Structure 1
Amino acid sequence: QYGTGSQAANAISIYMGLVDAADKPKVLANLIADIRSHNNGITAGDIGYRYLLRVLDEAGRSDVIFDMNNRSDVPGYGYQIAQGATSLTESWQGNRISSNNHFMLGHLMEWFYSGLGGIACDTNSTAFKNIIIRPETVGDENSAKVTFLSPYGTIANEWTKTGKTFVMKTVIPPNTQSTIYLPAKAGSVITESGKDVRLNTNIKFIKLEGGKAVLKAGSGKYVFAVND
């Protein structure tokens, strides 16, 4: 662990690259264990919470993010709503003596786009030249729809999950490339516009990894379907 071992200290250390690669899994495990030990509660403040979300998202642990935020019984976004807030408050507790219109705690919005909706920029790219599409189907969420106006044009992603079928409609703007992650496993049937995904010459199937099919795709409009 780093510093006091708090959620903020460990998350910032991982995100900023202070943690040696060999130690990263252990620090991440300690971070998640701390969240679980607080009954999936938040201890990070305005500065640290953004890094906490980014680290969990990048580690493929959006399930933890969902567990932390899909509730109203502990201080957090849901708690603010339960206290009658109609905009973000300065305190997690939503107390009335602090500012009641305080955008600084709006970090979850980033995860709505990059995690739940799945649109992100490749960290080795500039200005969304290389796009990451990696939606996280967590909790009881069965659909999401996001759009983002990048310098190359609008990026759009919409997915629905019904039973054992996952459908995702994706728009990749001109002059860009994308890496697309679909929830899939060995034996899953993956199609694009109703045909085997491997038949689309604009798409390259890379591998199955960590419960996801990894594809490379150029600009265009796609309708993916995964059936287990």
Structure 2
Amino acid sequence: MAPTTANPHGLTTVPEQWDLGHSKNHMILLQIEEWFHSGLVGIRRAPGSAGYSELLIDPRPVGGLTRAEGSYHTPYGVVSARWLREKGRFRLDVGLPPDTTAQVRVPTAGRKAQVAGDGAVFQGIRGDRATYGVASGRHGFVAYDGEGR
């Protein structure tokens, strides 16, 4: 591609320098990575909280994806989430660093999920998700779509 005012170096692909001055496609500037960990895997800071001491784990499985996992480094340590969809079952495993709490929203089609581990407190059903409060540590949740039991 010949150089133009909008494309001064005649690039036909994304340049190696990913700053705003060089990128012609700003989605490459980590928004897609943010979607993976905050949307697809669901790791976020809880609204109104500061410093990631309160978290929200709210995975959003899409399309035909059957699994996703990710982690995020906070000032308290690493937060991780992993989910798997198979045979009418949705399994979510969450790891929280010390001195943190989280609200975990499990896609359940409006039913409670089975909880593996101690300390998860059922907070209710909101739409198609069962909501639980958890403290630091590892927590597992399993939801069935009605056919996986």
Q: How many residues align?
A: 129
C-alpha displacement at 1:99, in angstroms?
5.2
Moved over 6 A (4+): none
Give the structure with the larger helix fraction.
1
Pick from 128, 132, 156: which aligns with 2:80?
Answer: 156
Mapped to 2, the partners of 1:98 and 1:223 lie a distance apart of 42
Structure 2 residue aligned with 1:203: 120
SS of the residue corresponding to residue 113 of structure 2 reads: strand
Mapped to 2, the partners of 1:177 and 1:204 lie a distance apart of 12
User: What does 1:22-101 align with in structure 2 at a 5 Å threshold?
Assistant: 96=11, 100-101=15-16
TM-score by length of 2: 0.77
Q: Deviations over 1:28-67 (max 9, x none)?
A: xxxxxxxxxxxxxxxxxxxxxxxxxxxxxxxxxxxxxxxx
The letter of the residue matching 2:45 is: C
The letter of the residue matching 2:115 is: E
Mapped to 1, the partners of 2:35 and 2:14 lie a distance apart of 24
Tell me if structure 2 keeps the 8 A contact 1:185–1:208.
Answer: no
RMSD: 2.3
Gaps of 5+ in 2: 1-5, 20-25
Gaps of 5+ in 1: 1-89
C-alpha displacement at 1:100, in angstroms?
2.0
SS of the residue corresponding to residue 136 of structure 1 reads: coil
The letter of the residue matching 2:113 is: I
Mapped to 2, the partners of 1:99 and 1:191 lie a distance apart of 45
Higher relative contact order (CA 8 A, sep 6+): 2
C-alpha displacement at 1:189, in angstroms?
5.4
TM-score by length of 1: 0.52
Tell me if structure 2 keeps the 8 A contact 1:144–1:158.
Answer: yes
C-alpha displacement at 1:98, in angstroms?
7.0
